[in-house]
Amino acid sequence: MASHRKSRPTGTRVAGMRTPALATAALTSVALLSQTANAAPSDDRPTLEEVEKKVDDLYRQAGSATERYNAAKERTTKQRKKVDTLLDDVARRTQDLNDAREELGSFASAQYRTGAAVPETATLLLADSPQDYFDQNQLMNRLTGRQKSAVDDYVTQQSETMKKRREATESLETLTESQDDLKTAKSTVQKKLATARELLSELTAEEKARLAAIEKKKQQEAARKAAELAKRQAAQEAERKRRAEAAQQEGDGGSGSSGTSGGTGSTGSSTPDTSNGTRAEKAIAFARAQIGKPYVWGATGPGSYDCSGLTQAAWKAAGVSLPRVTYDQVDAGTTVPVSQAQPGDLVFFYDDISHVGLYVGDGMMIHAPKPGAYVREESIFYDGESSIYSVVRPA
């Protein structure tokens, strides 16, 4: 703007030429602008590690929302059954109320026909004979007793019917709230998954290859930890057997057959319950047969599963009923240390208990991991040792 206020210097000037200071300033400005334009996209673009963490977080949040969806769906189903039962009860009571009302109407008609509403003196005077009056009066006394009972019954039924109608109304309101929770949870899952897919779709081929390499490295580390756990468990089992055999031999040498019985009892006390072991084998066999089926949030089989849907179905195949969601499954048994996990145990993950797998031994589990994945067997350390929340042995 200053150039407009100053007069041009006098003298000759070669066309197209500028003073050195102005030329230098112009070139510097162009260079800075060029650098800024080139740097802006890269500065705003997240690193591959940030993308990986964001996607993992989104999948975990989607898993947590899925369990909330499952819980809301279960509440909705139960509430709908309750509402249907209440509505049927209200309909039955309403019919009974109508029947009672008709009975009261018949009593009113009888009073009118017999002149019960006429004063007793007039009824006596109008009667054909005093005996007719007394016969009619005795009949009306009996009729009045029946009428009183009918009125009392009607009032009771009316009160109970109104109460049931209020219960049905409240249950319908609760059902509406459960349905709203269901819609909210479903929307949350869909948004989380859509964001995760969008982030992954923006990766270049090279970034996807690097991400796969990072995932492979994590799997190798998880497999190493699983092998370590398997080794420790094998050592513990060998020590348990050694002690059991020593106790049995000591019993055999000290008291003959009775000692053998004592040794066997000692062995049995330190081994897993046989019936529970058989059920665990059935649960594992079922879960293994589902390997390769897709993860679908909210699914309970038979064509697809989410994590808690799979564990519930596996133990159901073994004759054991588990709750639907992880938050409830975690309380459906006895908590044991990871080092003492046995085949059939449930392994829960994350502080919000949003994931679960079925332990199969040697540090491995079968689980339905996440959307886009399939039921598979892998290390319980697949997301790091710190992600394990607890291990539970179903009752």
How far from chain centre, in Å, is Cα 349? 14
Ramachandran angles phi, psi of 33, nearest 5°: -65, -40
Does the active-site annotation cover 265? no
Which of 355, 357, 368, 392 is catalytic? The answer is 355
Pairwise CA distance, residues 371 & 9, whole Å: 74
* Token code pair at residue 64: 């947590």
Does the active-site annotation cover 367? yes
Pairwise CA distance, residues 357 & 315, whole Å: 12
Which of 307, 332, 341, 356 is catalytic? The answer is 307
State how far the alpha carbon of 114 is from the alpha carbons of 125, 138, 299, in Å: 15, 12, 70
* DSSP one-letter string for 281-304: HHHHHHHHHTTTPBB-TT-BSSS-
Does the active-site annotation cover 4? no
Which of 93, 367, 370, 393 is catalytic? The answer is 367
- For residue 305, give the nearest of 295, 292, 316 by alpha carbon: 295
Pairwise CA distance, residues 280 & 273, whole Å: 10
- For residue 188, give the nearest of 276, 50, 288, 66 by alpha carbon: 66
Catalytic center residues:
307, 355, 367
